[in-house]
């Protein structure tokens, strides 16, 4: 097959275990926009998309998938560790690393979020996974980008800080710098500023190894997704109990701020996807994509359908 005619294979690994959620809709919205951008400049290129569910359906990605997004989900990162899906998922991460050592231009690339990020941390041994001593972290929160992280192209738009939605009981702590160097990885962000621990000790973004990136926070979250989460009466009451009513109101208002969650949604994963496609374009002869642009109108728009797991 002529490489220019080789389909681009995209996969969403849905770790929600069949539980209704906003994340799946948000990811699919990002993927749909990405596919449209590919087809605008490569109208005859086939783009194949697969949505799989390892935890509840036992599905695993094809080894020849090009670009993978792997989602968050409920529960402990140790749930199902020795089940076939858990063993298979970790084997897939190893496959990604090995292929990127052998043929980086045409190898699969994966971006892990929250639950998947926790699995990658534990499997690759770059940090210790533990329950948060202060309980669930929930709401729109800052992440502080390391000096090396600021050199990562998909983090360029954010300088030294970004804002994203968080909803987690676990955290990665105690960085294993030796293991990270061995993998060829980089710590990209923490939940507190360098040298501080006022907001916590968690390590919240990694370039784990060639081919594997990830964040503890949810860069896929759009405005409607965050509103659905934070306006849930139980979640709202929990947030207000910890942070107060005034902080809650300010958090909701930040959703209209183009420099906060809107920028993260528009730029982080879309830029990462663009980088991966353009890498393939160089190897296969596709036409490359321009960098994504932030579209506040799209961010503020109501989705056509309210989300559930699908």
pLDDT at 108 over 90: yes
pLDDT at 309 over 70: no
Instruction: Give the pLDDT of residue 307.
Output: 38
In a domain? residue 308: no
Q: Which of 26, 236, 231, 261 is nearest to 164 (CA)?
A: 261
How far CA 93 is from CA of 110, 153, 157, 243, in Å, comes to 8, 22, 28, 37
Quote the pTM value.
0.94
In a domain? residue 101: yes
Dist CA 154 CA 145 (whole Å): 12
Dist CA 236 CA 217 (whole Å): 19
In a domain? residue 305: no
SS3 per-residue string spanning the chain: CCHHHCCEEEEEECCCCCCCCCHHHHHHHHHHHHHHHHHHHCCCCCEEEEEECHHHHCCCCCCCCCEEEECCCCCCCCCCCCCHHHHHHHHHHHHHHHHHHHCHHHCCEEEEECHHHHHHHHHHCCCEEEECCCCCEEEEEEEEECCCHHHCHHHHHHCCEEEEEEEECEEEECCCHHHHHHHCCEEEEECCCCCCCCCCCCEEEEEEECCEEEECCECCCCHHHHHHHHCCHHHHHHHHHHHCHHHHHHHHHHCCCCCCHHHHHHHHHHHHHHHHHHHHHHHHCCCCCCCCCCCHHHHHCCCCCCCCCC
pLDDT at 306 over 80: no
pLDDT at 310 over 90: no
Instruction: Give the pLDDT of residue 19.
Output: 94
pLDDT at 237 over 60: yes
How would residue 1 be classed by pLDDT, with cut points 50, 70 and 90? low
**220, 265 contact by CB (below 8 A):** yes
Instruction: Give the pLDDT of residue 300.
Output: 73
Dist CA 159 CA 70 (whole Å): 25
In a domain? residue 186: yes
How would residue 117 be classed by pLDDT, with cut points 50, 70 and 90? very high
Average pLDDT of the segment spanning 142-167: 96
How would residue 308 be classed by pLDDT, with cut points 50, 70 and 90? very low
Average pLDDT of the segment spanning 53-75: 98
Sign of the dihedral defined by the CA atoms of residues 70, 79, 169, 223, in that order: positive
In a domain? residue 307: no
pLDDT at 59 over 70: yes
Phi, psi of 46 (to 5 degrees): -75, 130
Lowest mean pLDDT of 102-106, 123-127, 179-183, name the range: 102-106
**Strands 128-131 vs 47-52: parallel, antiparallel or unpaired:** unpaired
Q: Angle at the Cα of 270 (from 230 to 258), degrees rounded to 5?
A: 50
In a domain? residue 310: no
Give the domain CATH number at 291: 3.40.50.880
Lowest mean pLDDT of 23-27, 182-186, 187-191, 305-309, name the range: 305-309
What range does the domain containing 110 cover?
7-300
pLDDT digits (tens, 9 = 90+) for 257-293: 999 999 999 999 999 999 999 999 999 999 999 999 9
Instruction: Give the pLDDT of residue 303.
Output: 64
Q: Angle at the Cα of 257 (from 256 to 259), degrees rounded to 5?
A: 145
In a domain? residue 309: no
Dist CA 170 CA 130 (whole Å): 6
User: What is the domain count for the chain?
Assistant: 1
Dist CA 270 CA 267 (whole Å): 5
pLDDT digits (tens, 9 = 90+) for 284-305: 999 999 999 988 777 877 665 4
How would residue 2 be classed by pLDDT, with cut points 50, 70 and 90? confident
Mean pLDDT estimate for the chain: 93
Per the structure block, which two tokens stand in for 216?
A: 């503890």
Instruction: Give the pLDDT of residue 301.
Output: 74
In a domain? residue 57: yes
Lowest mean pLDDT of 41-55, 147-161, 189-203, 216-230, name the range: 189-203
């Amino acid at each position: 097959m002529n490489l220019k005619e080789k389909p681009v294979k995209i996969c969403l690994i849905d770790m929600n275990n069949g539980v209704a959620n906003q994340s799946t809709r948000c990811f699919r919205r990002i993927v749909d926009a990405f596919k449209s951008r590919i087809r605008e400049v490569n109208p005859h290129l086939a783009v194949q998309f697969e949505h799989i569910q390892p935890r509840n359906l036992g599905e695993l990605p094809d080894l020849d998938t090009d670009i993978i997004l792997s989602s968050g989900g409920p529960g402990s990162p140790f749930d199902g560790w020795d089940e076939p899906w858990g063993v298979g998922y970790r084997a897939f991460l190893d496959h990604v690393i090995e292929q990127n050592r052998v043929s980086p231009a045409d190898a699969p690339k994966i971006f892990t979020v929250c639950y998947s990020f926790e699995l990658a941390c534990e499997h690759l041994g770059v940090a210790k996974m533990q329950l948060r001593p202060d309980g669930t972290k929930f709401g729109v929160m800052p992440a502080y980008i390391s000096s090396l992280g600021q050199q990562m192209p998909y983090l360029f738009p954010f300088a030294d800080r970004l804002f994203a939605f968080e909803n987690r009981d676990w955290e990665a702590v105690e960085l294993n710098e030796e293991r990270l160097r061995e993998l060829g990885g980089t710590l990209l962000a923490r939940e507190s500023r360098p040298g501080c621990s006022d907001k916590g000790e968690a390590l919240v973004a990694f370039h784990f190894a060639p081919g594997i990136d990830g964040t503890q926070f949810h860069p896929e979250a759009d405005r409607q997704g965050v509103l659905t989460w934070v306006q849930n009466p139980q979640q709202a009451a929990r947030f207000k109990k910890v942070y107060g009513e005034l902080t809650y109101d300010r958090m909701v208002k930040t959703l209209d701020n183009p420099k906060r969650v809107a920028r993260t949604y528009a730029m982080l994963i879309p830029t990462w996807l663009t980088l991966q496609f353009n890498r393939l374009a160089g190897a296969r002869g596709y036409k490359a994509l321009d960098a994504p642009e932030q579209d506040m109108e799209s961010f503020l728009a109501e989705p056509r359908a309210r989300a559930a797991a699908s």
